[in-house]
Structure 1
Amino acid sequence: MEPIEDLPGTLGAWSAGRGPLYLLLAARFRQVIDDGLLPSGTRLPPDRALAAALSVGRGTVVAAYDLLREEGRIVRRQGSGTRVAATAASRQPGADASTTPMFLHLLDPPDGLLLLSCAAPDDPPPEVAEAYGRIGLTARDLGYHPAGHPVLRAALADRYSARGRPTAPEQILVTTGAQQALSLLTQLLVAPGDSVLVEAPTYPGALDVLRQAGAVLRPVATGPDGIDVRAAAAVMDRHRPAMAYVISEYHNPTGAVLPAPQARRLAAAAAESGVRLVDDAVLGGLGFDGSGSGPGLQAPITVDSLSKAVWGGLRVGWLRGPASLVRRLSRLKAIHDLGTDVPAQLAAADLLRGFDTLLRRRCAGLRERHDHLRAELAARLPSWHCPAVPGGQTLWVRLPRGDGGSFAQTAARHGVAVLPGGVLDTTGASAAYLRIPFLLDPPVLTEAVRRLAAAWRAYDRSGAAGRPGPTALGAAVV
């Protein structure tokens, strides 16, 4: 295919952003290729010609082309030049949109598939409807509160203060779920090419956000006692990441709790390195002992929500941080949506008044389902390693052989969707794992394990358990 006539015009104001020029140029190429403005087979200008047309150094173009070639969006051959690849439409994980099964199944729910790929409560407790019935909307209120409704900001600040973390309402930003809090933080703090410390494994939704921002992920292993603090300190000291994202309590997916001494050392290491430490506390109150969350990591920035403790459909989350940061994020949020739904915020404030009682009941139900799922797995799949967890919502299951990605495809054919470990771990070290939540009713969990057992027998007989599995991208299209 002939080269496009006005490539600089098609690229537009590609350099209007933060970060190295080659990353900005690659990001714009990625967008126009994925949008179909540069069809497969289109011939791209030579390095020097494009550099002259864009008034940049040749090294900028070479570095951008190299990155696009590694992603499979372009091909470069001696003698035939540079062209848009025929497979360019097959996007890399997290580049522009999520390829995680957890999200894809929400967008297009498959018929007859038991969803163990998304760890969220499947029905609201009665308190949600009751809270909506009690709220009163204030007269003469425009309803636009980019930082959050004052009633909810005050209620959240009081709750933090009562738990040993003195907080003013000005330190609270209300968001549309914790996912938006992560997105806004990343947009404000992370430029393309910036390093971000993440755990391996970790919450895949966070990985999607960070990849979309063009961050360079710096993974640190996490295990039964949480993140390896010594390794994390070394990464922060060496790379000075723009942000460090951790889940300190009832970790997703491992269920681990970072012990208090290690939490203090991690916070001290981040402060010494000047790294913004972000603690995802969405699961922090879900300990099986029903005592609720303690002070936790006490990171400078905490994100949280009601999606796990109450219901995902109540799209109310928040961020606790320095007031100066909250003001900057509020201005950014105003651009996105002018503020979170006011009735939902008032209902959330009402729920917080009786929240401890609701939380104790929820934790008791989680413990019952955790025990039920482990008993079913032990009976039907005794070769699987399924250690107990002290809280949270998920088991981190290690297969005796094979690969979680390839097994997930077999499981889907047997009517159950599971999340393979490779989707949650940027190092590839979790390929033999599955994340299995214990949120469904016990009879449904029993049926899900029955299907998993049937899938495992088929997988094991086929010999697939002895072969290398697909990449995370291959696993994601189940």
Structure 2
Amino acid sequence: MTVASVAALASTPGSAPASVPPLAARARAIGGSPVRDILAVTARPEVINFAGGLPAPELFDREGVAAAFRQVLEETPGRALQYATTEGEPALRERLAQRMAARGLPTNADDLLVTTGSQQALSLLATALLDPGDTVLVEDPCYLAALQVFGLAGARVVAVPGDADGPDPEALADLVVRERPKLLYTVPTFQNPTGRTLPAERRAALATVAARHGLWIVEDDPYGELRYDGERVPWIAAHPDARDRTVLLGSFSKVMAPGLRLGWLRAPVELRRACAVAKQAADLHTPTVNQLAAARYLADTDLDAHVARVAAVYRERRDAMLTGLREALPEGSAWNRPEGGMFLWVRLPETYDTAALLPRVVQEDVAYVPGAPFYAGEPDRSTLRLCFVTQTPEEIGEGLRRLGRGLRGVA
């Protein structure tokens, strides 16, 4: 066929344009985040929003962060605005390694890969570890965005039965034998959505199962520094049985500022290198200026002191929510008292469906996140998540009064 005949065919009168090829099956199968959908609906300023997972913006160290950026741009503008290595700026990785070592996990800069938020770290791990059809084990309920990542990777996601202390080690061992999964994903400290913390004994038991049966553990720790009560529990990654099979994820989003989009992963060398290759394909590297500013901030500012100030405010807000829940919620409700983090987990009487109730509650200008989307298996539809860090104690009290009005009279 000649060029002319092809052109004539393309311009034939009455010919309908062909449809474009469809989206990938994984894109068609995975929906958006219900949390972000709720945030869009409840963006009105009069809404007291317990649905978000956002740190309180008035507590950001704006002056300290701004000073770090100014110094970096004044002193090394060429470097700050240039491409950088995929693994991350050495100065930042060195300071992160020092913080980890000071908390009981010997780490050097070469153990770390800087990521564009710890959410990217999850995506890189899914790319490096998972083939379509592979099985991933998760907590029940589980961090919602992790379920999205594993779903987009084409993984089969299976929930591990558990209790108030987290996944049951015996149930985990049975599932590993039966399902042959690639990894277990867990947020062991101040979990999203439940706020619970796995005790040291439970962490050790999970590490032992992973060592005995052959399993990666992905330990996500975005909230661990936000402790209000009790003693710090060592990372799973620090357990002798887990050191060669645990990936530890961290983030500045909850302790410095989420807009910096700075996270990191600590992993054994082969897996870390595979994640670096995946990152090269994703975004080449995390923004250089953000990394250098964070490194300067850590050099010039006492981050621990800043976190302590934030934690003191968040503790007061948590206590305000705990104080008001009994009056706001219907009789027969139950909730936890987290030792830190950002979330409370509530279970209403079993006749309540929190997703169905949400529109009615939003009419009272208050919002929460229904619990059902956080479950990989059969959901408990009577559950909901409340974030307590973004509002003042007075706003929390008013929000709980509105929540009570919205729930009142539901059978």
- For the aligned pair, the TM-score class normalised by the smaller chain equals 0.7 to 0.9
Alpha-carbon distance in 2 for matches of 1:450, 1:240: 48
**Counterpart of 2:187 in structure 1: which amino acid?**
I
1:117 aligns with 2:64: no
Task: Report the counterpart of residue 43 of structure 1 in structure 2.
Answer: none
Please tell me the root mean square deviation across aligned C-alpha atoms, in Å: 2.5
Corresponding residue for residue 356 of structure 1: 304
Aligned to 1:377: 325
Contact 2:159–2:376 under 8 Å retained in 1: yes
Equivalents in 2 of 1:386, 1:166: separation in Å? 37
Gap runs ≥5 in structure 1: 12-26, 35-94, 466-478
Indicate conservation of the 8 Å contact 1:127/1:351, yes or no. no
The one-letter amino acid of 1:282's match is: P
The farther-off stretch of 127-136 and 213-222 is 127-136
User: Match for 1:178 among 95, 101, 118?
Assistant: 118
Measure, in 1, the Cα distance between the counterparts of 2:330 and 2:146: 32
Partner of 1:333: 279
Map 1:257-406 → 2, pairs under 5 A: 257-289=197-229, 293-298=232-237, 300-353=246-299, 354-381=302-329, 383=331, 384-400=333-349, 401-406=351-356
Aligned 1:4-43 pairs, distance under 5 A: 10=21, 28=24
Equivalent residue, structure 2, for 1:251: 191
**Contact residue 289 and residue 363 of structure 1 kept, 8 A:** no
Cross-structure match for 1:189: 129
- Report SS of the residue matched to 2:142: coil
- 3-state DSSP class of the match of 1:397? strand
Go from structure 1 to structure 2 and tell me whether the alpha carbon gap of 1:426 and 1:357 turns closer, same or farther (over 3 Å shift).
same
The alpha carbon displacement at 1:163 in A equals: 1.5
1:131 aligns with 2:71: no
> Are the equivalent residues in 2 in contact too, given 1:416–1:452 (CA < 8 A)?
yes
Q: CA deviation at 1:206?
A: 0.6
Residue 28 of structure 1 deviates from its aligned partner by 4.2
Matched, 1:455 2:394: no
Q: CA deviation at 1:233?
A: 1.9
The 2-side partners of 1:348 and 1:304 are apart by: 14
Query: Relative to 1, partners in 2 of residues 1:202 and 1:10: Cα closer, same or farther, differing over 3 Å?
Result: closer
C-alpha deviation, 1:180, in angstroms: 0.9
Partner of 2:108: 168
Q: Following TM superposition, by how much is the alpha carbon of 1:367 offset from its aligned partner in structure 2, in angstroms?
A: 1.4
Q: 1:108 to 1:188 in 2, by over 3 A?
A: farther
Residue 357 of structure 2: aligned partner: 407
The answer to which of 163-172 and 119-128 deviates more is 119-128
Q: Which is worse superposed, 118-127 or 269-278?
A: 118-127
Q: Distance in 2 between matches of 1:456 and 1:127?
A: 38
Contact 1:303 1:320 (C-alpha < 8 Å) held by counterparts: yes
Does the 8 Å CA contact 1:152/1:345 hold for their aligned counterparts? Answer: yes
C-alpha spacing 1:311/1:5, structure 2 compared with 1 (3 Å): closer
Q: 1:414: how far off?
A: 2.4
Highest RCO, 1 vs 2 (Cα 8 Å, sep ≥ 6): 2
TM-score relative to the length of structure 2:
0.84
Q: What is the deviation of 1:382?
A: 5.4
Distance 1:171 1:108 in 2: 42
> CA contact under 8 A between 2:72 and 2:293: conserved in structure 1?
no
Post-superposition offset of 1:235: 1.2
Q: Which amino acid aligns with 1:422?
A: A
Mapped to 2, the partners of 1:207 and 1:376 lie a distance apart of 32
Check 1:222–1:364 CA distance in 2 against 1; reply closer, same or farther (3 A cut): farther
Partner Cα separation in structure 2 for residue 152 and residue 163 of structure 1: 17
2 CA distance for matches of 1:209 and 1:107?
Answer: 21
Question: Structure 1: which 4+ aligned runs deviate by more than 4 Å?
Answer: 4-7, 27-31, 105-109
The within-5 A match list for 1:232-251 is 232-251=172-191
**Distance of 1:165 and 1:114 partners within structure 2:** 40
Cα distance change of structure 1 residues 392 and 10 upon mapping to structure 2, 3 Å threshold: closer
Q: Name whichever of 347-356 and 204-213 sits farther off.
A: 347-356
Q: 1:214 to 1:165 in 2, by over 3 A?
A: same
Q: 2 CA distance for matches of 1:173 and 1:109?
A: 36
Q: What is the deviation of 1:104? A: 2.4
> Which residue of 2 is the match for residue 47 of structure 1?
none
SS of residue matched to 1:287: coil
Task: Summarize the alignment of residues 76-115 of structure 1 with structure 2, pairs less than 5 Å apart.
Answer: 95-98=29-32, 100-105=33-38, 110-111=43-44, 112-115=46-49
Cα deviation 1:400-448 (Å, max 9, x = unaligned): 2311211223222322221111111122242111101111222221222
Corresponding letter in the other structure for 1:451: R
Cα distance in 2 for residues equivalent to 1:194 and 1:136: 44
Task: State how many pairs are aligned.
Answer: 377
Query: For 1:365 and 1:387, how far apart are their aligned partners in 2?
Result: 19
Structure 1 residue 246 displacement after superposition: 0.7
Partner secondary structure for residue 236 of structure 2: coil
Residues 332-391 of structure 1: per-residue CA shift (max 9 Å, x gap): 112211211222222322443512111222222221111101111223335232231211
Distance between the aligned counterparts of 1:323 and 1:257, measured in 2?
A: 28
Counterparts of 2:347 and 2:30, CA distance in 1: 30
Question: Is 1:427 matched with 2:377?
Answer: yes
User: Secondary structure, in 3 states, of the residue corresponding to 1:310?
Assistant: coil
Distance 2:21 2:318 in 1: 54
Q: Structure 1 residues 191 and 220 mapped into 2: Cα distance closer, same or farther (>3 Å)?
A: same
**Residue pair 2:87, 2:112 contacting (<8 A) in 1 also:** yes
CA contact (8 A) 1:301 1:321 kept: yes
**CA deviation profile, 1:229-288 (whole Å, cap 9, x unmatched):** 211122122222112101111122222221112211211211222211100111112221
SS in 1 for 2:181: coil
Q: Which amino acid aligns with 1:280?
A: D
Which residue of 1 is the match for residue 92 of structure 2?
152
Cα pair distance change 1:321/1:107, threshold 3 Å: farther
2 CA distance for matches of 1:109 and 1:144?
39
In structure 1, the partner of 2:163 is 223
**Whole-Å separation in 2 of the counterparts to 1:158 and 1:29:** 43
